[in-house]
Amino acid sequence: MVIQAVESEIRRLRAMPEEHTVPEDEERLVDFETVAEELEDLYAMARKSETTLPAYELLVRRTA
């Protein structure tokens, strides 16, 4: 659930119109993207020992 919550916040911040953002929003986005990368790495390690976990890609909706 944390992985999905972080991805949801990233999508929300990216979708904000630029005229409605403040510098703190950009900082928040960078922070959330960093956390997402760390969670993906941790999840990959967990999947090595717990094979019943779904693929990471099934937990998040990637946008180009």
DSSP per residue, 1-64 = -HHHHHHHHHHHHHHS-GGG--HHHHHHHHHHHHHHHHHHHHHHHHHHH-TTSPPHHHHS----
Enter the pTM of the model.
0.83
> How many domains does the chain fold into?
1
Say if 64 falls within a structural domain: no
The answer to whether position 28 is within a domain reads yes
Residue 9 lies in a domain: yes
Domain span at residue 53 reads 2-59
Q: Is 31 inside any structural domain?
A: yes
pLDDT in the model for residue 31: 97
User: Is position 44 within any domain?
Assistant: yes
What pLDDT tens digit does each residue of the chain (64 aa) get? 899 999 999 999 999 999 999 999 999 999 999 999 999 999 999 999 998 999 998 888 765 4
